[in-house]
């Protein structure tokens, strides 16, 4: 599976022959200057590649076919510098099967009132010419991102950069393979889902592999490999246990999984404490250390969240905050200070740690296996989102809630797992009511890097439903919106 740095976005500038060669030469020069400078901003996560000025149906159709065909190209940015008649765009846009961004900008930032003439007007006419181009995407009911503003405005670059991350999530999703060890936890509903529909919409490939095969791999790990893994653990984490045998068993689990994942190009996985036949422990630090390297995980067989974890990690590549598999675990319901504590029985991703994780060994109260080594730490504070993906029967719904995490400042000497604390917006009572109305899961992906806008763009490009729980939410409106979405998705033709 590739990453963000392997992708590029193509920039196509629209015009028409009506203005003569001099005007087209100006379009070319302006596009060159814009793209060179945009790449120099240092804020875009991927390169923008200049694909020149297009002036007729044939050129537009040809470039869109090349967009589709190029593995490196993750999407196309269009901008009509001058009036670009939108019927020229029909065939190209109909063929396009990659993310589309319409940059509604203008080469000149300001109106030069004292000097302007009609030549200036004709070379700075995207205010009307680019609306004509935009019409066709709307007429075709295309999902696309529209970014408005001067191309040197940092807010514009931020929007384009954010969209690039979402588009990368779409493109890289088609390369994502999820390895399931065992089914999902018995009787659990929200972790179920239609794997065929998910592969159609999101590209995620999800298949099961026997735990027995993994056990074979664990037993084949050499002492030298275990020592190397222990050195890795102690270089990253503080050892806070005398039970080295447990840590070594976890090292074996990680090594066996890492080899298997590399061999088969898996970038997400699930397991379940109900299907560990032949294993001595549920993987704890083994899973946590894999997650810290970008492998997505879902507990209790939750393959949808494992995949979303990987995709969101990819989308957030190079950002400083952290993106992690999480579970809403327990509540603090003090009036006016309500908070959620997120944790899991073992598998909390150290990429959201505020304190250096400690390696500890404790008994696990479920699963009837040996005491697993795990990383214990406090989660960091900051603005973030929690996301989950649920199968509504016939469609997928991505739910995103805005949260503000706080670093726990109290001692929890008896809690043997990593933990995070956060306040959902506008408050826990409203957010949790909305989350439950929307059918949101207990497993989520918590991200300090991505925002609801990233996730909305991602969902729109994928053609799945998006539900956002935010500071201005009103439960009455929210219920109506859920009802309208249900009706809309039942109407034939809305996909």
Torsion of CA 277, 281, 284, 289, to 10 degrees: -80
Q: Which is nearer to Mn ion, 349 or 465 (CB)?
A: 349
Smallest distance from Mn ion to CB 301, Å = 10
Give the nearest distance from C-beta 340 to Mn ion in angstroms.
14
Cβ proximity to Mn ion: between 206 and 346 the closer is 346
Q: Which of 130, 327, 349, 465 is the binder for Mn ion (CB under 5 A)?
A: 327
Instruction: Report the distance separating Cα 431 and Cα 470, nearest Å.
Output: 8
Q: Which is nearer to Mn ion, 77 or 375 (CB)?
A: 375
Instruction: Write out the E strands in 392-464.
Output: 396-406, 419-424, 443-447
203 to 113, 176, 267: CA distances (angstroms): 52, 7, 13
When the beta carbons of 306 and 467 are compared against Mn ion, the nearer one is: 306
309 binds Mn ion (CB under 5 A): no
Cβ proximity to Mn ion, 345 vs 485, nearer residue: 345
Question: Closest Cα partner for 64 from 48, 76, 47?
Answer: 76
Report if residue 45 touches Mn ion, rule: CB under 5 A.
no
User: Out of 193, 299, 379, 384, which residue is the one contacting Mn ion (CB under 5 A)?
Assistant: 299
Closest to Mn ion by CB, 134 vs 299, is 299
Enumerate the β-bridge partners of residue 342.
328, 420
Of 64, 124, 131, the C-alpha closest to 93 is 64
Closer to Mn ion by Cβ: residue 82 or 184: 184
* Interatomic CA distance for residues 381 and 83, integer angstroms: 49
Q: Stretches 225-233, 255-263, 322-330, 334-342: which one binds Mn ion (CB under 5 A)?
A: 322-330
What tokens does 225 get?
A: 């490999």
Structure tokens at 480: 């109506």
Asked whether position 283 contacts Mn ion by CB under 5 A, the answer is no
User: Which single residue brings its beta carbon nearest to Mn ion?
Assistant: 299
Report the nearest approach of Mn ion to the CB of residue 477 (Å): 31
Interaction of residue 193 with Mn ion, rule CB under 5 A: no
Stretch that binds Mn ion, among 138-146, 225-233, 254-262, 293-301 (CB under 5 A): 293-301
With contacts defined by CB under 5 A, name the span among 299-307, 370-378, 450-458, 472-480 that binds Mn ion: 299-307
Distance of alpha carbon 37 from alpha carbon 48, whole angstroms: 10
Size of the site for Mn ion (CB under 5 A): 3
The minimum distance between CB 413 and Mn ion, in angstroms, equals: 24
> Shortest gap between Cβ of 327 and Mn ion (angstroms)?
5
Nearest-approach distance from CB 433 to Mn ion, in angstroms: 22
DSSP state of 332: E
H-helix or E-strand spanning residue 372:
none
Q: State whether residue 127 is helix, strand or coil.
A: helix
Asked if 101 and 75 count as a contact pair (C-beta separation under 8 A), the reply is yes
Other Cβ atoms within 10 Å of 36 Cβ, number:
11
Residues at the contact surface with Mn ion, assessed by CB under 5 A = 299-300, 327
């Amino acid at each position: 599976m590739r990453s963000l740095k392997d992708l590029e976005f193509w920039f196509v500038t629209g015009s028409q022959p009506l203005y003569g060669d001099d005007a087209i030469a100006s379009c070319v020069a302006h596009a060159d200057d814009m793209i060179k400078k945009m790449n120099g901003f240092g804020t875009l996560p991927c390169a923008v590649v200049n694909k020149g000025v297009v002036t007729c149906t044939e050129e537009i159709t040809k470039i869109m076919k090349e967009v589709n065909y190029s593995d490196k190209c993750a999407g196309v940015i269009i901008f009509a510098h001058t009036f670009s008649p939108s019927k020229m765009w029909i065939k190209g846009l109909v063929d396009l099967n990659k993310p589309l961004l319409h940059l509604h900008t203008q080469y000149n930032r300001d109106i030069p009132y004292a000097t302007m003439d009609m030549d200036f007007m004709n070379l700075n006419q995207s205010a009307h010419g680019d609306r004509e181009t935009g019409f066709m995407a709307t007429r075709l009911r295309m999902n696309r991102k529209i970014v408005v503003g001067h191309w040197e405005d940092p807010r514009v670059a931020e929007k384009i950069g954010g969209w690039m991350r979402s588009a990368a999530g779409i493109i890289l999703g088609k390369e994502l393979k999820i390895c399931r060890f065992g089914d999902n936890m018995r009787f659990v509903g929200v972790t179920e889902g239609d794997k065929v529909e998910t592969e159609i919409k999101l590209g995620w490939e999800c298949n099961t592999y026997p735990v027995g095969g993994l056990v074979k791999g664990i037993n084949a790990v050499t002492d030298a490999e275990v020592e190397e893994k222990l050195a890795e653990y102690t270089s990253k984490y503080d050892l806070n246990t005398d039970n080295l045998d447990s840590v070594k068993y976890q090292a074996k689990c990680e090594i066996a999984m890492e080899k298997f994942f590399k061999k088969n190009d898996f970038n997400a996985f699930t397991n379940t404490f109900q299907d560990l036949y032949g294993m001595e422990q549920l993987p704890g630090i083994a899973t946590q250390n894999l997650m810290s390297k970008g492998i997505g995980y879902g507990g209790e067989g939750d393959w949808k969240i494992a995949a979303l974890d990987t995709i969101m990690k990819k989308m957030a590549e190079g950002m400083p905050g952290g993106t992690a598999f999480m579970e809403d675990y327990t509540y603090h319901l003090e009036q006016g200070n309500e908070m959620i504590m997120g944790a899991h029985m073992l598998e909390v991703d150290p990429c959201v740690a505020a304190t250096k994780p400690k390696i500890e060994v404790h008994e696990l109260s479920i699963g009837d296996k040996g005491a697993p080594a795990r990383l214990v730490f406090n989660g960091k504070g900051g603005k973030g989102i929690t996301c989950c993906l649920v199968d509504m029967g016939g469609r997928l719904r991505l739910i995103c809630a805005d949260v503000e995490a706080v670093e726990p400042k109290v001692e929890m000497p008896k809690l043997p797992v990593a933990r995070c604390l956060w306040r959902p917006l506008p408050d826990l009572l409203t957010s949790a009511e909305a989350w439950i109305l929307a059918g949101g899961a207990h497993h989520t992906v918590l991200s300090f890097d991505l925002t609801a806008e990233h996730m909305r763009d991602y969902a729109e490009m994928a053609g799945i439903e998006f539900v956002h729980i935010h500071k201005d939410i009103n439960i009455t409106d929210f219920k109506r919106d859920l009802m309208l979405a249900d009706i809309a998705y039942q109407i034939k033709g809305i996909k």
